């Protein structure tokens, strides 16, 4: 008797669930998608430098000693600057061929420098060029500064979104609107690399590198859907 009674109430329950789902999927009307965007230029405050030590030898062990000697010397100088982030990068060796005949080995290892004190990094790069070569120098906005700018732009972009929603509503003679969904996206566009070089260490003087940090563009975009209350 208990099982029979349970089956008698199963079908109405399923029917109610299906009806509820169908109601939730009913189409919505008077919806408009729109977006607003705010952007600003921000001074770059972080300098990134990639330097390399190169070597060539018929003996791979001798090549490794050359590269390790240069890198240990560079790390000793760089780590003395507490305000500069220092790390080693890729280490590569590859054969030297001439008319398909093996003549020896070449190798290189990168040194990565990063910091906000442009003058100090430039001075260090000038010293390191005695034995290392500059590959690239670029600039960026620090995370702390970028987040502060983004937070300010988010408020401005939301205000602009509301202004546009109001303009649309007024033109369509809506009594009001409600936000159905909204998305906030941020982006940063960095300038092209202002300095790039691959020169022999003998041709470089131990002098500070002349660079200009430049600016980056920070952009916040607010997009979403509003539902107008039309007569």
Element housing 174 (H / E)? none
Q: Encode pLDDT of 20-45 as tens digits.
A: 444 455 667 799 999 999 999 999 99
Residue 191 pLDDT > 60 = yes
Cα–Cα nearest to 74, from 47, 53, 94, 45: 53
Overall residue count recorded for the chain in this entry: 231
Half-sphere exposure of residue 41: CA atoms within 13 angstroms, side-chain side = 5
pLDDT of residue 38: 97
Backbone phi and psi for residue 147, each to the nearest 5 degrees, phi listed first: -65, -40
CA distances from 6 to 14, 45, 143, 220 (A): 13, 71, 61, 57
Q: Encode pLDDT of 114-148 as tens digits.
A: 999 999 999 999 999 999 999 999 999 999 999 99
Task: Return the beta strands (E) in the chain as ranges.
Answer: 31-43, 46-57, 85-98, 101-115, 133-140, 176-189, 195-196, 215-229
Distance CA 179, CA 228 (A): 9
Residue 88: Cβ within 10 Å count: 13
pLDDT of residue 207: 62
Partner residues linked to 114 by β-bridges: 48, 85
Distance CA 148, CA 157 (A): 14
Where is pLDDT greater, at 190 or 193? 190
Report DSSP state, residue 5: H
CA distances from 136 to 30, 110, 200 (A): 53, 11, 14
Distance CA 196, CA 49 (A): 10
């Amino acid at each position: 008797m208990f099982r029979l009674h349970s089956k008698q109430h199963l079908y109405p329950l399923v029917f109610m669930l299906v009806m509820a789902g169908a109601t939730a999927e009913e189409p919505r009307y008077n919806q408009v998608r729109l977006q607003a965007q705010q952007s600003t230029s921000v001074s770059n405050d972080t300098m990134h430098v990639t330097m390399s030590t190169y070597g060539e030898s018929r003996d791979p062990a001798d090549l490794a000693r050359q590269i390790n000697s240069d890198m240990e010397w560079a790390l000793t100088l760089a780590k003395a600057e507490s305000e500069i982030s220092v790390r080693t990068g890729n280490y590569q060796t590859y054969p030297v061929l001439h008319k398909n005949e093996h003549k020896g080995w070449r190798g290189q290892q990168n040194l990565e420098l990063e910091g906000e004190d442009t003058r100090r990094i430039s001075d260090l790069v000038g010293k390191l060029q005695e034995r290392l070569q500059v590959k690239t120098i670029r600039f960026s906005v620090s995370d702390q500064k970028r987040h502060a700018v983004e937070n300010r732009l988010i408020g401005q972009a939301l205000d602009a979104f509301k202004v546009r929603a109001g303009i649309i509503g007024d033109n369509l003679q809506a009594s009001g609107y409600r936000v159905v969904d909204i998305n906030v996206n941020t982006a940063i566009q960095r300038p092209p690399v202002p300095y790039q070089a691959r020169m022999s260490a003998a041709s470089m003087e131990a002098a500070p590198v002349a660079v200009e940090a430049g600016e980056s563009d920070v952009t916040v975009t607010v997009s979403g859907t509003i539902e107008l209350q039309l007569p």
